């Protein structure tokens, strides 16, 4: 059994070939694939897990390059076909031709939110997350240590979002 407790790390996952700036990850709901954002190399990398949720069973699947520069966050809709990637100042949306397979064809759906829209709401956009019904999404700004909440007039369409003046300032 491999576990992480407060005193012992009993398994270390080898990430050789990555840069020093892994930023975010997303798991396929059944735990058989993990997709990681590597900001330093501008890559998105996927691994298959032969035993669900067990990183020790990971094998490299595919490395995707050229999506955008300075990738920070990634969010997959539960269908695995709709995906959003963000860098420090914009959010781009794509559809994959095969669910949860980053080696398949990516089509830009042009649902872009850029620095003009986000200007007063993020100092450095780190991550994005949608509510389960897609009517809200959340932006994590690590410079201002704030999570902001946005309302989408069309579900899972960031380009229809408006800031609803709700935020959580994180202090510790």
> Which tens digit of pLDDT belongs to each residue from 85-128?
888 778 888 999 999 999 999 998 877 776 666 766 666 778 88
pLDDT of 14 reads 56
| Greatest alpha-carbon span in the chain | 49
Residue range 57-77: average pLDDT?
Answer: 85
Give the per-residue pLDDT at 8.
47
From CA 154, how far away is CA 172, in angstroms rounded? 35
pLDDT of the residue at 48: 96
Bridge partners (DSSP) listed for residue 169: 146
Ordered DSSP codes for the chain: ---B-SS-B------TTS-S-EEEEEE-TTSSEEEEEETTTTEEEEEEESSTT-GGGEEEEEEEE-S-SS--EEEE-TTSSEEEEE-SS-EEEEEESSTT-TTS-EEE----B-HHHHTTT-SSEEEEEE-TTSSEEEEEETTTTEEEEEEESSTT-GGGEEEEEEEEE---
């Amino acid at each position: 059994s491999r576990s992480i407790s407060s005193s012992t790390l009993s398994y270390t996952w080898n990430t050789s070939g990555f840069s020093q700036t892994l930023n975010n990850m997303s798991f396929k709901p059944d735990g058989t694939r993990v997709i990681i954002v590597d900001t330093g190399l501008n890559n998105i990398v996927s691994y298959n897990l032969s035993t669900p949720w067990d990183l020790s069973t990971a094998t490299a699947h595919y490395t995707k390059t050229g999506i955008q520069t300075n990738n920070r966050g990634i969010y997959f809709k539960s269908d695995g076909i709709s995906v959003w990637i963000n860098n420090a100042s914009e959010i781009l949306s794509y559809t994959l031709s095969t669910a949860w397979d980053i080696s398949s064809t990516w089509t830009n759906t042009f649902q872009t939110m850029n620095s003009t829209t986000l200007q007063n709401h993020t100092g450095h956009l780190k991550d994005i997350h949608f509510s389960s019904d897609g009517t809200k999404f959340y932006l994590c700004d690590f410079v201002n240590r704030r999570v902001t909440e946005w309302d989408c007039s069309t579900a899972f369409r960031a380009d229809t979002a408006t800031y609803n003046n709700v935020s959580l300032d994180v202090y510790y």
